[in-house]
Structure 1
Amino acid sequence: MNFYDKLAATPLFQGLTSSDLIQIIGQTKFSFYKFASDKTIRNEGEPCRSMAFLLSGTARMVTYADDHGFSVEETVTAPCILQPERLFGLTQRYTRNFIAASSCAIMEIDKNDILRLTDEFVILRINLLNIISTLAQKADRPIWQHTPDNDEGRVLKFLRSRCTSPTGKKIIRIKMVRLAQETGIGRLAVSKALNKLQDSGCLEFSRGIITIKNQRSSYD
């Protein structure tokens, strides 16, 4: 796709007319970067001063616990925006690492330009509000969900609540002792639950690594 088509496909610019997009392209400074596979796109703790769009390729998104005691790795595919909620609010820093899983094309728009565009184009402003509202609603929902009454369900709830999307491959790096602490069940019970979930095809696990395949049904 050419730049016009890629811009129109991104969540922020969907619904704008052709003339609107042409006007935006003519009046806005866009920065473009290429990242080879395994190169870091964004680091946890890095200031978020611009909105970064993944225009092509796939990236690994790694989220760490506050004490870095465990991590969750997910795959994000283009087109998408890298943590748009971090451009505003109390903490304007990235909370995840983004690493290119293939050759990636990144486009950046400065925060001041985003503010100007949302002021000039109502649809773009609504799109941004919808994106941030959706993220907030997804983050709020897990804490109110019913706690399962069996060990396998508790393990699955822990895994599900730490993922941003129900689809795609997930890699959780966590020690058995830490998983037992997080789920509130004993280490032996965690081991048995993981074995049952592996036997049923929900996940695979080895020493300190839990892998969920690219199937929504695996942990729904």
Structure 2
Amino acid sequence: MTNDSMYEILMNLPAFRGITYNKVSQIVEKAKFHFLRFSPGNIIVDEGEECTFVKFIIKGAAKISIIDKAKRFSVEQTLTAPSMISPDFLFGRITRYPGRVVAQGAEDCGIVQISKNDYMQLLAGDEILILNMLNMLSMNSQQGLWGALAISNGSLERRIASWIIALTQNDATDIVIHAGQDDFYRIFSTDKEIFDKTIESMTQCSLIDSEPFTLRIKSRRELRDMLS
């Protein structure tokens, strides 16, 4: 890989967006970037693994699978380039990945990673990098506010949208929820009649597709817009 192509890749990542070519050159001299390839089906990150590296997808796709401790439900989502993997868990009280991340698709998944310690040193020395990270974290924290308002609103559609938004990344696609029918009722504190009517309404609005024990999200953005 030439320096030009490596710099172009880094400048396209959300955490480094807006910095100049010369600044990228300085960053590469200060920090070590590791370029990795994972064949389809190979594990990139395992559930509960400590977040010691900042990881970005630069090619292909990866699927994140999150399963609750009681194994009542699972949430799958797909990330593609130039997504950062689970940025919310880099800092704070919990710094372990919430789910397994697996390379997905017909081609290898390319990852570039930098140690969290190196990344923190870069943040300390560049205002643009700090703003990029703050913007990502702020957007995700605001989703919690939307969720609280959705719950207080009482609409089951908004509660479902809030739950999906809270468990998935902003740039996620191919979101699929698996749960038993009774578990869906318990998760959303409702009964079969109300749940079925709500799912039918959301399906007719092209927000989701439903199958027995499965909800497929057609538009995360439209769900998010319901809450704003």
- TM-score range (shorter-chain normalised) is 0.7 to 0.9
After superposition, the Cα gap between the structure-2 partners of 1:195 and 1:135, relative to the gap in structure 1 and judged at 3 Å, is closer
Deviation at 1:79, TM superposition (A): 0.5
Query: How far did residue 100 of structure 1 move?
Result: 1.5
Q: CA deviation at 1:196?
A: 4.5
Name the structure 1 match of 2:143: 138
- The residue type paired with residue 10 of structure 2 is L
Please name the residue that 2:38 is paired with: 35
- Change in 2 beyond 3 A, CA 1:189/1:49: same
Unaligned runs of 5+ in 2: none
How far apart in 1 are the matches of 2:21 and 2:128? 13
Q: Which residue of 2 aligns with 1:128?
A: 133
- In structure 1, what is the equivalent of residue 52 of structure 2? 49
- Structural RMSD (CA): 2.6
CA distance in 2, matches of 1:164, 1:79: 13
Q: Find the aligned partners of 2:118 and 2:58 in 1 and give their Cα distance.
A: 18
Contact 1:203 1:218 in 2 (8 A): no
Tell me which residue corresponds to 1:115: 120
Query: How far did residue 2 of structure 1 move?
Result: 1.6
Please list the CA deviations of residues 115-161 of structure 1 after superposition, one character each: whole Å capped at 9, or x if unmatched: 22112222222222222222222233211225565655654554455
Match of 1:175 in 2: 180
Write out aligned runs for 1:1-220 (5 A): 2-102=5-105, 103-145=108-150, 147=152, 155-165=160-170, 168-199=173-204, 201-214=206-219, 216-217=221-222, 220=226
Look up the SS of the partner of 1:16 in the other structure: coil
Q: How many residues align?
A: 220
SS of 1:135's equivalent in the other structure is helix
- Cα drift, residue 169 of structure 1: 2.5
Amino acid at match of 2:15: L
> Structure 1 pair 215/132, CA: closer, same or farther in 2 (3 Å)?
closer
TM-score w.r.t. length of structure 1: 0.85
Shift of 1:205: 2.2
**Alignment CA distance shift 1:17-1:54 (3 Å):** same
* Distance (Å, rounded) in 2 between the aligned partners of 1:81 and 1:167: 11
**CA–CA distance in structure 1, aligned partners of residues 220 and 132 of structure 2:** 28
2:165 and 2:136 map into 1 onto residues whose CA distance is 21
Distance in 2 between residues matched to 1:65 and 1:92, nearest whole Å? 17
More displaced, 181-190 or 23-32? 181-190
**Structure 1 residues 116, 199: CA separation in 2 closer, same or farther (over 3 Å shift)?**
closer
Contact map agreement 1:160 1:166 (CA 8 A) in 2: no
Q: 2-side partners of 1:74 and 1:138: how far apart?
A: 17
Structure-2 change in CA distance of 1:198 and 1:87 (3 Å): closer
* Mapped contact 1:155–1:190 kept (Cα < 8 A): no
Q: Give me the TM-score of the superposition, normalised by structure 2.
A: 0.83
